[in-house]
Amino acid sequence: MAITVSPAEWQIMEVLWQQPHTLMELVRILKDSEGWAKSTVTTLVRRLEQKGIIGYEAEGRTKTFHPIVTREEIVAQQSESLLQRAYHGSLGLFLSSMVQRNNLTREDIDELHKILHKAEENME
């Protein structure tokens, strides 16, 4: 299943990954942080529900929404989609582009070395 999450939907997910919330709690949180109206939050929650990304537990008329899909699953799927679309599946081309556009710190370079070393160990 291809998971697509808009930037606005991502904001809702950020809140739900921290803990489950009712619609009214989401409205209050996102009104304070994003300035969104109840109708905006309701529409976004409905979309996420239709996509199968969030679910809910009902207690009477109150629904408490929770994530079904983890942050890691969405990040992995969207990263793979970007890699295929923009870089024709070439991880080397992607990394080269990122390295050329960003000033890497010593920590960044060390982290990349560790990642590549671990990948080599997994090949053996």
Going from N- to C-terminal start, the domains of the chain cover 1-89, 99-124
Which residues, 6+ apart, have CB-to-CB distance to 41 below 8 Å? 12, 23, 26, 27, 30, 31
pLDDT of 4: 86
pLDDT of residue 37: 96
Q: Is the pTM of this model over 0.85?
A: no
> How is the beta sheet containing 54-59 ordered, strand by strand?
21-22, 62-67, 54-59
Higher-pLDDT residue of 4 and 54 is 54
Q: Which CATH class, in words, describes the domain spanning 1-89?
A: mainly alpha
Pick the most confident of 37-41, 76-80, 98-102, 120-124: 37-41
Q: What is the mean pLDDT of the chain?
A: 92
Report whether 13 contacts 5 (CB < 8 A).
yes
Q: Is the pLDDT of residue 1 over 90?
A: no
- What pLDDT is attached to residue 22? 97
- pLDDT of amino acid 95: 86
Q: What is the DSSP letter of 21?
A: E
Give per-residue pLDDT as tens, 18-74.
999 999 999 999 999 999 999 999 999 999 999 999 999 999 999 999 999 999 999
